[in-house]
Amino acid sequence: TIDLGAYGEGTYTLTTNSGYGGFGGTSGATPHVAGTIGLLYSAPCPRLALLARTQPAQTALLLKQIILNSSVSHVDLQGTTVSAGVLNMKNALDSVMAIGCSLSGCHEPYNVLASATTGTTASINWDGVDSTNVYYMRYRAVGTPTWTFSNTTDTFSVLSNLIACTNYEIEIAADCDSTIYSSNYIFKTGDCCFAPSAINIDTANLTTATFSWAVDPFVTTYIVEYKLKTATTWLTTTTTSPGVILSGLDSCEIYELRILSSCPVNINNQYSATIEFETTGCGKCTSANYCASTGQNSGDDWIQNVTLNNINNTTGDNGGYISFVNGGPTTDLAQGGAYPISIDIGFNTGPWGTNWLLKVWIDYNQDEVFDDATELAYDAGVISTAINNHTGTITIPSNAILSRTRMRVAVKWGTNNLNSCNNSSYGETEDYCINITQPTGITVEEILPNTTLTVYPNPFDKQLTVNMNSVQDQTATLILSTITGQEVINLRTQLDLGENFLQLPTNRLPQGVYLIRLLLEDGSVMTQKMIKQ
C-alpha cells in the first residue's frame, strides 16, 4: 500500500556533471517525507524527546500516524493512498506541538550531556523532572561490572576521580520513582595524550625546516623525532609549543619526522603518522623540466645495474623508465675527476637479440637539457651481442657547475640513434642525481701507489708504449677509452716485480682525447690523459 502522496514533480536539485535540473517521480517525493520526519524529531517538545529515548519504536509509529492524519485531502489520491491526501509539513509540526509537550508527573530524566571534561573529572547536566527534589546517579567505566552511586538536588553534577582517556556510561533516576533510570549516556574523559593528527611543513630550506600542528590542551611536551629516510637511528628534540624548527640538516635530502605527545597522564600515547620532507639545495636535479625518455617495452631489454663511485643500484625491469632523483642513490663527482662506470643490461632475447645502444648523459651546465654533443658522459657504442656488463670511464669537465645535477642512463634495442630524449619501442631509462664538487687536490684515482704508470709518446700516433713499474708480482687490467668512456682496448696482464713494458697499436684510432687506466688487484687505479694526433 501507499500511505500518502508528496509533491515532487520538477524538483530542482543537483544533476550529473555538477549541474542543476528538475526531476520527478518517487525519487522527488520521498525526500520530502524523510525530511519531515527529521523535522518532527527536532521539534522543541520535551515530552516527545523523552518518548523518543524511552520508547523509540512507539514514538516512530506515533509520528507516522501524525503525518498521515495531518495530510491534506487531494482528489487524485482518493482510493489510491491510505491517507487519501498529500503531505503537509506545517500541519504535522503543529500536531506534534499539540500533543502536550510539557512534562509533569514522574518520569525519567532526559537530555543527559557531559561537558568540561578533563582527565579525571566531568560535568554532567540533564533536563529536570517537575515532581522530584533528588536525583540518583550511577556511573561506571564501560565494560566494568561495578557502578558508582551518588545523588544531588541539582540538575547537574561534577564527577571526580575518573580514569583518564576512558569511556564512561551514566544513568540518572528521579526520587519520585528511583527504579526508572534514564537511558545510559556515554562520555569519554580527557588526557588521552594523542599525537598531532596533522603536521604542517611550514618551510624547508637548505639546512632547516619548520613545522606546526594544532594545540592540544592536555599535552605538556612534544617529543619530535626525525632522521634521514635512509637512516635507522632517530634524532630527538623536545618542545612545549605546537611547533618546532629543526636545524643542522643536510641539504637536498629526504627526511622522516614523527611526534610523540607527553601529558600528565600518558594514556594511549602513540606516535603520530610519519611524514616526509625534503631540504632544498638539489640544484636542477629534481626539476620537472627535463625531457621525457622511456622505452615503451622493457620486457626484453632493461638496465639491471648501475655502478658509479658510491652508486651501486640494482633495479631490474622497471617498465621503461624509473627516476631515482628523489631519495635514490647518489654520489659526489669532483670537477676534473675520472670515475669508472659499470652498467649491466638485462636481456630476455629471442632470435632478434642483436644490436643495442647504451649511453649516459650528465647535465654539466645545469640548463635542464642533456646536450648530446657536450654532455654525453659515456657511450658504449653498438653492442652487437647480448653481453650483460659494460664498463668505461666518466670524466667530469673542470668547468662543470657545482651542485646537484641530473644523470641519465638509457639503453635501447636497435642501432637507430639513441638520444637523451629517447622514446624507443624497446629499452629503458633511469635518472639519477649526482653532486658536482670542487676537486680536493688529488682524487682517489690520481693517487699513485707503489706501482707506477708511464705512457709515451704523448701526443701519440701509431703506437703507445706503456711502462708499468710494479713492486710485486700481480695481475692488472689496462684500459684505453675515449673521453666519453667508450673502451677501445681492455687488456688483462700479469705484472712481474720491476718494469713491465707493453706496446699498444693505435694506428686505427681516430684523433682525439683518450684516457688510459691501470687497475691493480688491490683496487688502486692510475689514470693518464693521452692525445691522438
80-102 residue pLDDT tens:
888 888 899 999 999 988 877 77
Q: Which CATH architecture has domain 205-278?
A: Sandwich (2.60)
Distance CA 284, CA 368 (A): 7
pLDDT at 437 over 60: yes
pLDDT level of residue 450 (50, 70, 90 thresholds): low
pLDDT at 311 over 90: yes
pLDDT at 446 over 50: no
Of residues 324 and 183, more confidently modeled? 324
Distance CA 366, CA 359 (A): 19
CATH 2.60.40.2550 fits 448-532, yes or no: yes
pTM of full prediction above 0.75: no
The pLDDT tens digits for 152-209 are 999 999 999 998 889 999 999 888 877 778 878 899 988 788 889 889 999 888 889 9
User: How, if at all, do strands 135-141 and 167-174 pair?
Assistant: antiparallel
User: How, if at all, do strands 330-334 and 423-437 pair?
Assistant: parallel
Point out the least confidently predicted range of 64-68, 189-193, 270-274, 419-423.
189-193
- Cell 564512561 belongs to which residue? 168
Other CB atoms within 10 A of residue 306 CB: 21
Segment 492-500 shows an average pLDDT of 85
Return the closest-CA partner of residue 227 out of 209, 242, 239, 212. Answer: 209
Report pLDDT for 494: 87
Q: How far is CA 398 from CA 72, 335, 338, in A?
A: 93, 5, 11
| Class of the CATH domain delimited by 294-437 | mainly beta
Domain 294-437 in the same topology as domain 205-278:
yes
The pLDDT tens digits for 250-299 are 877 889 999 999 887 766 678 999 999 988 877 778 877 899 998 888 88
pLDDT at 443 over 50: no
pLDDT at 351 over 80: no
Write down the CATH number for the domain with range 110-188: 2.60.40.10
Report pLDDT for 192: 82
- Every domain of the chain and the residues it spans: 11-97, 110-188, 205-278, 294-437, 448-532
Q: At what angle do helices 56-69 and 46-54 cross, to 10 degrees?
A: 130
pLDDT level of residue 352 (50, 70, 90 thresholds): low
pLDDT level of residue 522 (50, 70, 90 thresholds): low
**Cα torsion through 483, 485, 486, 488, rounded to 10:** 70
pLDDT at 136 over 70: yes
pLDDT level of residue 484 (50, 70, 90 thresholds): low
pLDDT at 524 over 80: no
